[in-house]
Chains A and B, each alone.
Chain A
Amino acid sequence: MLIFVLKRIGALVPVLAVVAVVVFLLMHITPGDAAAVMLGPEASAADVDALRQELGLNDPLYIQFFGWLGGVLTGDLGTSPFLGESVAAALLSHLGPTLSLAILAELFAILVAVPAGIIAARRRGTLIDQGFMGLTILGISVPSFLLGLFLILCFSVGLRWLPVAGYQPLSAGLVEHLRYLLLPALALGSMQAALIARMTRSSMLDVLGSNYMKTGKAKGLSDFALTYKHAFKNASLPVLTVVGQTFGSLVAGAAVVETVFNIPGIGQLIINSVDRRDLVVIQGAVLLIAVAYVLINLIIDILYGLLDPRVQVS
């Protein structure tokens, strides 16, 4: 097991190296002088020089890279010339809403999609199955920001049940917190739900057709015990993979949905930084999410190895 874990961690090194190079190069693919672009056309030459000095843009590229990498490894992501605070501090103060939203969306997706997938598999070929699968195609085809807009139109503008936009932290009370996050979580989680439902259905179908299910049935096990205790346990591995693989895109999707609902999370920080062309903040945020994505996949891989020892061998 230990060797398996170490091997997995070792395989991450080249991936993380490429991630670091790509994020570093963002500052350098800007046409013209990055410092001048960031400060805009009205900036004085002295200000531009000072920022260039501060960002170290005058040094040779490889010195800049290792200087930047050294900073990143010690938790120093640089300082935003616009926010007047360190990028790490800015990310930290925007992390809460994004995590809340992503976790809520994932919970919603799992709670809806797993039962739906199981039911669809058990009633394969019926109208219920076709209905669910039709919904999943719709779920995959409607981008989250669009679904968010439609939900606002329906529940906030039309029915006036829920607030149009905004955010209340958990400290303002759970009900208030959820009232503001309900629509964003629905918008964000629906594609996830569609993917999980499809995966649950197809892996349940694989298991339900197997011989040990027949044995269980012959033994006189109830349908409920068969489906949930025996079949789903074995069908849950691929489902877990989908959950893990798509959690990263969920966090990125949160960035888009946050903008629709004016939630002050990492996504809004990124979008405001695009307007300002604050590349330092964008580098930090993109690096954070990419690294988080890689680490989540590592955890899923290791869990997979724990749940199914055969994986460790291959």
Chain B
Amino acid sequence: MTSFAPRSPLFPGMTADRRSLQLRRIRNNSQVMTGGSILLLILLIALIGPLLTPSGPYETDTPNRLLPPSTTNWFGTDNFGRDLFARVVSGSHVSLMVGFSVALITSGLGLVIGLVAAYFKTADRILMRILDGFMAFPAILLAIAIMAALGVQTENVIVALSLVFTPYVARVVRSSALVVKEQTYIESLRAQGASAYRVLWVNIAPNVLSPLLIQATFIFADSIITEAALSFLGAGVPPPEPSWGNILFDGKTLIFSAWWMTVFPGLTIMLVVLGINFLGDGLRDLLDPRHKSIRK
């Protein structure tokens, strides 16, 4: 499910005087542009979509159940006669909310854990063993288990995914911070008597932000996929609240009579994940030229 393994640690790169050059490179980087445009489009639809639907995501209309796509119901209707486009748009709010929250929480926790581990040797030994233990669980499985223990609720999806993905962020932050820590200017700061707190938060932290940002985009994508999988399995967002995953679950039982209930939410997920992966890959090439080797 997850594709963390080949995402190797990244290195910091951007300085202020190179910013105009960076902007030109962003425009010239087709991956960032493609990924960014796809995501902007999805965001736009998520924002204005509710204005374009004939009825709300919860409004049932039994006489008009299982209608194929038409000019009024762009994605057709489901087995309760609810407009599928309205439900997919409403599902995008849940997905984006979960993805964004998890990316934010894991970035915060991962930054603290990673920096502390990189700077203090004893803490490093303990923290890394704990992270290794967490990473021995396949992500989706640990998420399912935590959901089973906490109970099936949208907020718990965020808690579970944050627990599952934090180690992956912390590792990236730690390995970037280890590189920064060896630089001469950090050594001279320490020789001048700067406190560990100051060196860590004022001098090292800003230099690990770009790898952190790249990892956060990947976590964003992985959270959206995992939330959809969890909801599809009945261990994520509980119905009737629409989520791409639980719409797909409803669609699976009707796969012979209503292909649109599988195709539209499915394509939406694909498009979003593709967009985020493009953006993440492009950002990585942009911010970390040394990583180019992956695609030669």
Contacts and interface: CB of A to CB of B under 8 A. Distances in A.
Interface in B126-166: 129-130, 132-134, 136-142, 144-152
Interface stretch (A66-74, A109-117, A167-175, A244-252): A244-252
Interface residues on B, range: 35 or more
B248 A143 contact: no
A252 B141 contact: yes
A143 B274 contact: no
Contact of B255 (A164, A251, A253): A164
Interface in B202-248: 225, 228-229, 232-235, 248
A270 interface: yes
Given A15-B132, A286-B141, A256 B296 contact: no
Given A15-B136, A143-B1, A245-B5, A27 B248 contact: no
Given A145-B229, A271-B234, A140 B277 contact: yes
Contact of A18 (B129, B139, B228): B129
B71 to A, nearest CB: 24
A294 B136 contact: yes
A249 B262 contact: no
A27 B149 contact: yes
A128 interface: no
B296 A15 contact: no
Contacts of A255: 140-141, 144
Nearest to B270: A142
Given A15-B136, A274-B235, A29 B150 contact: yes
Nearest to A277: B148
Interface string A145-174: 110011011000100000010000000000
A3 interface: no
A252 B133 contact: no
B63 interface: no
A205 B269 contact: no
B274 A145 contact: no
Given A15-B132, A137-B277, A271-B233, A31 B255 contact: no
A191 B6 CA distance: 13
Contact of A141 (B263, B270, B295): B270
B23 interface: no
Nearest to A34: B149
Interface stretch (A78-86, A195-203, A302-310): A195-203
Contacts of B142: 22, 286
A183 B273 CA distance: 23
B32 to A, nearest CB: 14
SS class, residues of chain A in contact with chain B? helix
Contacts of B259: 153, 157
B30 to A, nearest CB: 13
B129 to A, nearest CB: 4
Contacts of A202: 293-296
User: By CB atoms of chain A within 10 A, which of B2, B138, B140, B256 has the most?
Assistant: B138
Contacts of A101: none
Contacts of B225: 143
A124 B296 contact: yes
A143 B273 contact: yes
A272 B43 CA distance: 35
Contacts of B134: 18, 22
Interface in B168-227: 225
A77 interface: no
Contacts of B132: 14-15, 18
Contacts of A270: 141, 144
A241 to B, nearest CB: 8
A152 B255 contact: yes
Interface string A253-270: 101100110000000001
B233 A150 contact: no
B9 interface: no
A133 interface: yes
Interface in B241-289: 248, 251-252, 255-256, 259, 262-263, 266, 269-270, 273-274, 277-278
B28 interface: no
B260 to A, nearest CB: 10
6 contacts: A26-B149, A138-B274, A255-B144, A260-B252, A271-B144, A275-B234
Given A191-B3, A253-B140, A255-B141, 14 more contacts: A18-B136, A22-B133, A22-B134, A23-B145, A26-B149, A141-B273, A142-B273, A143-B228, A149-B251, A157-B256, A198-B294, A205-B296, A274-B233, A277-B148
6 closest Cβ contacts across the A-B interface?
A18-B133, A252-B138, A14-B129, A252-B141, A274-B148, A141-B274
